[in-house]
Structure 1
Amino acid sequence: MSTLPDLATLYPPLGLVVRAGELTLRPLADADLPEYAALLRRPIFADPTAPEVFPWYRADPEERELDALRFQWRLRCGIGPEEWTLAFGIWADGRLIGSQDVSAVRFAARRTVTSGSWLTLDAHGNGYGTLMRQAMLVLAFDHLGALRAESSAVLGNAPSFGVSRACGYIENGTQVSTLPGSSEVEQRFLVTPELFRRPAMPVQVEGLNPALRGMLGA
């Protein structure tokens, strides 16, 4: 009897793994989603009324979970050379603590990625926010060939600004938020391979095979 291939073989994004120090980043699989949904009920922001709180986080927990699951499935369906988002779960010593995404539009031509991230409140203060961003940038710059990485955060969001600056980003103007349900003014940031402040430990990337490179336009 023949053995069927696993899902990561059939759908290459699910085989991608990035490791840096205590952290493991990999796209969320269906088996991870119950743990991910439970994570969304935990505090992420010290002040849940602050301007930087994500609009989706303001929803009731049940609605927040359902929308998050729909969002994850929709992202997977949308991965292709013209546009893609890889939504990584962040595990610290085997415990899911947050999310780091990286996105691109027409990556083959633009060589530009954007990103967003969050950690549960009890995971703050350990350097994880900086390290997971650095790990994502190593993937983008060293393995995918990106030439620019952009990010943004609501004005006054000092922790996010601090992570960006620790990774070597420079300020790049302002914008009105593009997040659904938000009209907050955001500070934009930009980093290039030359400006990038690399992590102290090595970053390992596994599963970036030719099939996945083709899906990402890399």
Structure 2
Amino acid sequence: MRNWPLFQLRVTTPRLELRIPSLDDLDELADRAAEGVHEPGFMPFTFPWSDAAPAERARGTVQFHFGQWAGWSPEKWSCLFVVVDGGQVVGMQELSGTDYAVTREVATGSWLGRRFQGRGIGTEMRAAVLHLAFDGLGASQATSGAFADNHASYAVSRKLGYRDDGIQLHNRLGKAVETRRLRLSRDGWSTPAGFEIHGLEPCLPLFGAGEDPAG
């Protein structure tokens, strides 16, 4: 699509492909959401979308992507990739930025279908968008965060070199719960072998990164 080059943007790793979803991809991603993304009784998200009924989770997943596409601007964007492993959509990885042309800071968020967890996919898909951020967009900082009891997310951050960046309290289902903030600088990033970015150049102005990333 000539007027929306993001549909050509992909990041590939030795195992995974991250791409802006087609409508068929969104349908499959919605199926993953309906199947479940965490165990009952545990809530890893600030907004508890995953507690909805399966059909509502599926519709909400599609609507959320449509909303992010419609609201995209260089000043505030959220790039939502589907994560594909072996030809199957297994989850979603987000890379977002606000006033990126000035801050050169990105944030990440993700979820993975429950039956695909525990295979190292979460680490590899986060590393993929960090490769895009640092090596493609010229980011200087990447941030993440997770509830203190979300040990899997925290382990991924630690494995990729993030450092603790303080705590914050959030309302989770009516209770104040501590969130750990984490931060990774460009100096602390080393690109893994076999990671590649495809179709980025025409997208750079949409990210507010039209200038030379090294500048």
Give the TM-score normalised by structure 1.
0.89
Instruction: Tell me how far apart the structure 1 counterparts of residues 127 and 156 of structure 2 sit (CA, whole Å).
Output: 9
Aligned equivalent of 1:82: 75
- What does residue 213 of structure 2 align with? none
* 1:4 corresponds to: none
- The corresponding residue for 1:52 is 44
Contact 2:11 2:195 in 1 (8 A): yes
Mapped to 2, the partners of 1:160 and 1:104 lie a distance apart of 20
Equivalence for 1:216: 207
The code of the aligned residue for 1:107 comes to Y
Contact 1:81 1:214 survives alignment (8 Å)? yes
Q: Matched residue pairs, number?
A: 208
Alignment deviations for residues 115-144 of structure 1 (CA, whole Å, 9 cap, x no partner): 101111221222111111111101000110
**Contact 1:37–1:65 (8 Å) recurs in 2:** yes
Secondary structure, in 3 states, of the residue corresponding to 2:196? strand
**CA RMSD in angstroms, aligned pairs only:** 1.9
Cα separation, 2, equivalents of 1:163 and 1:151: 10
Contact 1:75 1:85 in 2 (8 A): yes
> Distance between the aligned counterparts of 2:120 and 2:168, measured in 1?
27
CA gap of 1:160–1:110, structure 2 versus 1, over 3 A, is same
**One-letter code aligned to 1:203:** F
Secondary structure at 1:125 match in 2: coil
Task: Give 1:13 deviation, angstroms.
Answer: 1.1
SS at match of 1:10: coil
Map of 1:1-218 to 2, 5 A cutoff? 7=1, 9-45=2-38, 47-52=39-44, 55-177=48-170, 184-199=177-192, 201-210=193-202, 212-218=203-209
**How far 1:177 moved relative to its partner?**
3.6
One-letter amino acid of the structure 2 residue matched with residue 138 of structure 1: H
Quote the offset at 1:188 in angstroms: 0.5
Query: What are structure 1's unaligned runs of at least 5 residues?
Result: 1-6
Which residue type is aligned with residue 99 of structure 1?
M
CA distance in 1, matches of 2:58, 2:83: 18
Percentage of identical aligned residues: 34
Q: Is the 8 A contact 1:83 1:105 kept in 2?
A: yes
Report what 1:3 is aligned to.
none
- Asked if structure 2 preserves the Cα contact closer than 8 Å seen for 1:89 and 1:96, the reply is yes
Structure 1 residue 183, shift from structure 2 partner: 5.0
